[in-house]
Amino acid sequence: MVSYVLDLQENHLLRNVKRVADMEAAGSVIIDVKKGRMRIRMKVALALCVVVLCIGIGVGVMHFVEKLGWLDSFYLSVMSVTNVGYGDRAFRSLTGRIFASIWLLVSTLAVARTFLYLAEARVDKRHRRMAKWVLGQNMTVSEFLAADIDQNGFVSKSEYVIYKLKEMGKVSEKDILQICLKFDKLDTGNCGKITLADLMQSHHQVRFNKFLMVLLECKK
């Protein structure tokens, strides 16, 4: 439920920011235009707003339904939402207990979501620092040799990009190997490039294999 509400808020903000063309400056702060998603700090802010809203609703119900003072209502609300719950106070009325059974569940999920976004923000910040550090380093001879994948004596732009992505941890050697294997399957002529004829031949081969499988199943 909390995830659904936060996703609705995110989608609503994304639509509004994209709809208004003269809000490019605000859009760069709220959303990541290149990735088409809300920035992590805005997700954290929205999650914190939901937590504060849960605390506020709890304070109101405890004050007007449970007849507690404002200070006690705030204390009990914060202790309940943050899952501390010393147990020195409890809901006594039937209305309060029904409310608490729903409110405590939603509040717990909201707090969990907030910590999840905070952890995501921390990881994202670490990745950005790592990427900035990697891009700021000058290429050494050993790095040149490692980046020269085909060992032809020079590093192409694609080889340099792949090497830097590996250094940033955005792609692994296993991922590159799987992509290369897929490329080799499409490159039926072994010419180091994929032509339209290769692609059409690959599609025909897939259809032919499916046809053979259907025939074998029919014979069984």
- CATH number, position 81: 1.10.287.70
191: which 2 tokens?
């010419």
Q: Give residue 131's pLDDT.
A: 79
Q: Which of 47, 49, 48, 43 is nearest to 30 (CA)?
A: 43
- Judge whether 47 and 119 are in contact, CB under 8 Å: no
Per-residue pLDDT tens digits for 104-152: 999 999 999 899 889 888 888 888 888 788 788 888 888 888 888 878 8
Residue 157 has pLDDT above 80, yes or no: yes
Largest CA distance in the chain: 81
How many Cβ atoms sit within 10 Å of the Cβ of residue 15?
A: 10
Residue at 58 is within a domain: yes
Q: Taking 90 as the threshold, does the pLDDT of residue 193 lie above it?
A: no
Residue 135 inside a domain? The answer is: no
pLDDT for res 23: 47
Q: For residue 42, tell me if it sits in a domain.
A: yes
Spatial separation of the C-alpha atoms in residues 10 and 21, rounded to whole Å: 18
- Number of domains, the chain: 1
Domain assignment of residue 195, yes or no: no
166 in a structural domain: no
Residue 203 lies in a domain: no
User: Does residue 62 fall inside a structural domain?
Assistant: yes
